Amino acid sequence: MKITEKEVRYVADLANLRLTPEEIGRMVHDLDEILSHMDRLNEVDTTSVEPMAQVLYDAEETATLRADAERTPLSNQDALANAAVSGQGYYKVPRVIER
Amino acid sequence: MSIPVSTLTIPQIQDGLRNKQFSAVELAEAALHFAGEENPKTNAYLHLCHERALKQAHRVDEQLAQGADPGPLAGVPVAVKDVIVTKGVRTTCASRLLEHYIPPYDATAIQRLEAAGGVILGKTNCDEFAMGSSNENSAFGPVRNPVALDRVPGGSSGGSAAVVAQGTAVVSLGSDTGGSVRQPASFCGVVGVTPTYGRVSRYGLVAFASSLDHIGPFGRTVEDTATLLEVIAGRDPMDSTSADAPVPSYKAAMTGDLRGLRIGIPKEYFAGLAAETGNVIHAAIDKLRALGCEIQDVSMPNTEHAISTYYIICTAEASSNLARYDGVRYTTRSQEPGGLIDMYRNSRGEGFGPECKRRIMLGTYVLSHGYYDAYYLKAQRVRNLITQDFRKAFEQVDALVTPVSPFPAFKLGEKTADPLQMYLSDIYTITGSLAGIPCMSVPCGNTPDGLPVGMQILTRHFDEAGMFRVAHAFEQASR
């Protein structure tokens, strides 16, 4: 087994994802199958191969810089328009600190 | 007169407007009416935006009346995948989580296509957050393939491919992370293009895997598809990965002449291919040879590792990108009682569908302590090797030709039980995505059952023009 039920519960907590008991069972099976397949990558010799985090092509060093000009930002009202719960110009969440 | 909305091309629309056969408003009304009538067959549109479409069509008519040029997409009915944000128009990513999300801004591609006169009819169905290869992962029901209604249209941009095939839009925008434009284009028998990474701004494309995401166009002809790409392409200060490279006239490249062009056939792309698909692809290669191309065998030895590489990188990036859906900022929050962390977990658990959960879990796992080097860093190194395979191949040839998918459109429900098998079907498209090179699917014939088969054409970074040259000449020779 590549992954146990305990590990699936641990990863779900890391991902802040509530899974039902049925979903956990299915996830153990699916991830185990997929990770076993992925293990074949170990057959590839990557000695002295650089990791590639981004698509690479020839460009000038400053290619990604834009002019540092003032722009009107999203208004507070627009930013909050899709909030699940808001009030007083803020997002509202369940109480975090108990008195 | 009635307007033949389902078969119109962009040049025909421009002629029709100029000769006053119809106005942009008449065309938009006819297209919206036709889309409304036909959509229940396929479920390809999630919602139509009548008001926005008619307002834009009015603007185009006014410009024409004043003798101004509204642009290369004047009056053209366009559909947009529902992962590209549209100001004031619901953008759901086919997810329950964003069912009520109304974006406060337009994506750069949307701004550009409307500035060129394009008329957005509506937003198209897709796999949830663009994760899938069959469009069966939509929270709002699957899309049916207009060519064969018991089959999938492909995914994840299944709706955007289907509307163009069905004739309920003239062109459309999709997004492609590992084949999500090309594979549905091949399943539905239309043209679909994944441009060079960075060619089209991702500003306003809801992020799935940032180092792999592309916006790409669909059309019924190579020329229409290239016209839409030309409009949306080019540097955008709002996306730091958008490339500052000149966008040439793609039409100028469509000479119809392929004599002396060197085309590589990578042998690794023909293992595991269904015979019915292989026969059509081999006939297409013969046609390219008859057009004067020099056909050469090439080898891409790292192809077999592409699936693992892709699914490690894309799920890792997805797990980070989807962390923002926390029940706070994007409309939907769980009603279960509990504190802040419970609220996060319940909102995400209730909101995401099974495939998104699987990818968030896989991505979180490969990035977690103790596995980062073994999976994520290893995959990034193999990604480099796969890219080098392409670099070496393009030293010998000008373009590569391969199948798009190992098989034609399959039946709804046929592959949903086994996620690994579904991932493995992406083998021919994900390599080009990992390298970030331009690739496209162009229809090249049908199986004996009448199902469309797409041929994939791949070229060097920023050589979309070379790709369109091949696709256009092939298309003309196939008529």
Q: Secondary structure of chain B in the HEC alphabet?
A: CCCCCCCCCHHHHHHHHHCCCCCHHHHHHHHHHHHHHHHHHHCCEEEECHHHHHHHHHHHHHHHHCCCCCCCCCCCEEEEECCECECCECCCCCCHHHCCCCCCCCCHHHHHHHHCCCEEEEEECCCHHHCCCCCCCCCCCCCCECCECCECCCCCCHHHHHHHHHCCCCEEEEEECCCCCHHHHHHHCCEEEECCCCCECCCCECCCCCCCCEEEEEECCHHHHHHHHHHHECCCCCCCCCCCCCCCCHHHHCCCCCCCCEEEEEHHHHCCCCHHHHHHHHHHHHHHHHCCCEEEEECCCCHHHHHHHHHHHHHHHHHHHHHHCCCCCCCCCCCCCCCHHHHHHHHHHHHCCHHHHHHHHHHHHHHCCCCHHHHHHHHHHHHHHHHHHHHHHHHHCCEEEEECCCCCCCECCCCCCCHHHHHHCCHHHHHHHHHCCCEEEEEEEECCCCCEEEEEEECCCCCHHHHHHHHHHHHHHCC
Interface of B with A in 345-374 (CB under 8 A): 345-350, 352, 354, 357-358, 360-362, 364-365, 368, 374
Optimal mutation site among A3, A57, A58, A96, interface B, most CBs of chain B within 10 A: A57
Domain boundary among B253, B270, B291: B253
Q: Phi first, then psi: what are they for B470, rounded to 5°?
A: -65, -50
Residues B77 and B169 in one domain: yes
Report the residue of chain A nearest B358, measured CA to CA: A27
Within 8 A of B346 by CB-CB distance, chain A residues are 18
Q: What is the pTM of this model?
A: 0.97
Q: Which domains does chain A have, with CATH numbers?
A: 1-43 (1.10.20.60)
CATH number where B19 lies? 3.90.1300.10
Asked if the structure places residue B358 within a domain, the reply is no
The CA distance from A87 to the nearest CA of chain B, in Å, is 12
Query: Is A66 near chain B, with CB under 8 Å?
Result: yes
Compute mean pLDDT per 10 residues along chain B, 479 residues long, and list them.
Answer: 90 97 98 98 98 98 97 98 98 97 97 98 98 97 98 98 98 98 98 97 97 98 98 94 92 96 97 94 98 97 96 97 95 92 96 98 95 95 97 98 97 92 93 97 97 98 97 96
Asked if the structure places residue B331 within a domain, the reply is no
Catalytic residue among B81, B138, B242, B319: B81
Residues B146 and B275 in one domain: no
Domain boundary among B253, B283, B318: B253
Report the residue of chain B nearest A47, measured CA to CA: B381
pLDDT for A63 equals 64
Query: Is A30 near chain B, with CB under 8 Å?
Result: yes
Average pLDDT over residues A61-78: 83
Interface of B with A in 284-313 (CB under 8 A): 302, 305, 307-309, 311-312
Residues B271 and B420 in one domain: yes
The neighbouring-strand residues paired with B151 are B411
Residues B197 and B111 in one domain: yes
pLDDT for B175 equals 98
CA angle B13, B15, B20 (to 5 degrees): 95
Q: Which of these, A5, A48, A34, lies nearest to B312 by C-alpha position?
A: A34
pLDDT for B244 equals 87
Domain boundary among B253, B278, B295: B253
Optimal mutation site among A11, A37, A71, A96, interface B, most CBs of chain B within 10 A: A11
Q: In this complex, which of B244, B323, B329 lies closest to A91 when CB atoms are compared?
A: B329
Residues B282 and B391 in one domain: yes
pLDDT for A59 equals 67
Residues B177 and B302 in one domain: no
Q: Are A29 and A3 in contact (CB under 8 A)?
A: no
> Looking at the predicted structure, is the pLDDT value of residue A58 above 70?
no
CA B174 from chain centre, in angstroms, equals 4
pLDDT for B479 equals 84
- Which pLDDT band holds residue A67 (cuts at 50, 70, 90)? confident
The neighbouring-strand residues paired with B440 are B193, B457
Asked if the structure places residue B412 within a domain, the reply is yes
Within 8 A of A95 by CB-CB distance, chain B residues are 339-340
Structural domain including B283 reads 262-306+374-442+454-477
Positive or negative: CA dihedral B141, B147, B152, B154: negative
The neighbouring-strand residues paired with B161 are none
- Which pLDDT band holds residue A60 (cuts at 50, 70, 90)? low
- Which pLDDT band holds residue A61 (cuts at 50, 70, 90)? low
Interface of B with A in 164-203 (CB under 8 A): 196-198
Which helix (DSSP H) or strand (DSSP E) does residue A23 occupy? helix A21-38
Q: In this complex, which of B198, B330, B345 lies closest to A16 when CB atoms are compared?
A: B345
Residues B237 and B266 in one domain: no
Catalytic site residue B180?
Answer: yes
Asked if the structure places residue B391 within a domain, the reply is yes
Catalytic site residue B156?
Answer: yes
pLDDT for B96 equals 96
Residues B238 and B276 in one domain: no
Asked if the structure places residue B360 within a domain, the reply is no
Query: Is B20 near chain A, with CB under 8 Å?
Result: no
The neighbouring-strand residues paired with B456 are B402, B441
pLDDT for A55 equals 85
Asked if the structure places residue B282 within a domain, the reply is yes
Residues B292 and B405 in one domain: yes
Query: Is A28 near chain B, with CB under 8 Å?
Result: no
Query: Is B416 near chain A, with CB under 8 Å?
Result: no
Q: Is A48 helix (H, G, I), strand (E, B) or coil?
A: coil
Residues B210 and B266 in one domain: no
pLDDT for A54 equals 86
| Distance in angstroms (rounded) separating the CA atoms of residues B81 and B122 | 9
Query: Is A17 near chain B, with CB under 8 Å?
Result: yes
The CA distance from B301 to the nearest CA of chain A, in Å, is 11
The neighbouring-strand residues paired with B297 are B265
Asked if the structure places residue B313 within a domain, the reply is no
pLDDT for B399 equals 98
Residues B168 and B275 in one domain: no
- Which pLDDT band holds residue A1 (cuts at 50, 70, 90)? confident
What's the domain count of chain B?
Answer: 2
Residues B276 and B198 in one domain: no
Asked if the structure places residue B202 within a domain, the reply is yes
Positive or negative: CA dihedral B216, B218, B222, B227: negative
The CA distance from B46 to the nearest CA of chain A, in Å, is 20
